[in-house]
Amino acid sequence: MSEAYIVSAVRTAGGRRGGRLAGWHPVELAAQVLNALVDRTGADPALVDDVIMGCVSQVGEQSTNVARNAVMASRLPDSVPGTSLDRQCGSSQQAVHFAAQAVMSGTMDVVIAAGVESMTRVPMFSPSSLAQKAGMGFYQSPAINRRYHDVAFSQFVGAEMMASKYGLSREDLDRFALLSHQRAIAATRGGAFDAEILPLPVRDAQGLDTAEIHRTDEGIRYEATFESIQGVKLLQEGGVISAANASQICDGATGVMVVNERGLKALGVQPLARIHHMTVIGHDPVIMLEAPIPATERALKKAGMNIADIDLYEVNEAFASVPLAWLKALGADADRLNVNGGAIALGHPLGGSGTKLMTTLVHALGARGKRYGLQTMCEGGGMANVTVIERL
């Protein structure tokens, strides 16, 4: 069986809700990433066998196969197909897995795995909320309600359950949130993101380019202090989760190019990393956010590795309780976790976060001269993907 290699990885800088990427139609935002991946490898765009794109809110501007629409808005030829997928927050990480499986099988040689989400233009929960308002019902069927006793599935409740189960206080979560900002500030000022970010012009309300360039993650709070984070209102009385220790709403597009040995030869490029292992599991959908823990345990066992073998970890900061619980359960080294900050500071563009984290992991391994990296993230419905990569 062939190996799967990452030869290019790029992302837009994150945009706040209503911020510097709000003027970009998500299809055109994603198209810029597709163009950049081709440009950075010098590939003949006709060699791309498929584009697999994660997107959670596939309605409105992100409907009707956003992946194919992004291809049509890019410089890729009409011969390049595209398909869109939804594994909730892990959508574009799953896109990487599908791309790797395609090239490893030999049925394809060059595949782009990508993700996009404009949370400004297509707000979170739009697919279900708009359908309900239109009288089209809700996704929880009678059989689901019977099985789970009419529970209202909620990531916010799950985040509180994680904190309670793993003995995490509000102070623990808020100190982690501050650390996320501090690491993101240091990475930004030190140029750690320069190679991975695709600078783009800010667009006005009419979608026209301005002279301003967006090249820095917009969500970083340079003035953040522990006291200011502690001062943010809790989401529920008696809880520990606040907007300050949870991920930020974010606009963004991200992607990686995945190839096999034939693809390497056809493109004439050197690989950045090899995909060493892939795992995905389902878990308890009520606590919902715990799946990265057993998924990581399974991945390490299948790969014949232990956590000490992994040099850097990217664990999505959907809520601070998720990576902190993961650290505690795995006995992992906190100094290797999200070394350039995470979604609390940089934002979480839902379907775009999988390839966002992968892009950062690939570049961080290269910059630090490390070998193995592991990426995982919690996903709606109680699922998690795990990807282990080896820098080359």
Active site residues: 89, 348, 378
Three-state secondary structure string covering the chain = CCCCEEEEEEECCCECCCCCCCCCCHHHHHHHHHHHHHHHHCCCHHHCCEEEEECCCCCHHHCCCHHHHHHHHCCCCCCCCEEEECECECHHHHHHHHHHHHHHHCCCCEEEEEEEEECCCCCCCHHHHHHHHCCCCCCCCHHHHHHCCCCCCCHHHHHHHHHHHCCCCHHHHHHHHHHHHHHHHHHHHCCCCCCCECCEEEECCCCCEEEEEECCCCCCCCCCCHHHHHCCCECCCCCCCEHHHECCCCEEEEEEEEECHHHHHHHCCCCCEEEEEEEEEECCCCCCCCCHHHHHHHHHHHHCCCHHHCCEEEECCCECHHHHHHHHHHCCCHHHECCCCCHHHHCCCHHHHHHHHHHHHHHHHHHHCCCEEEEEEEECCCEEEEEEEEEC
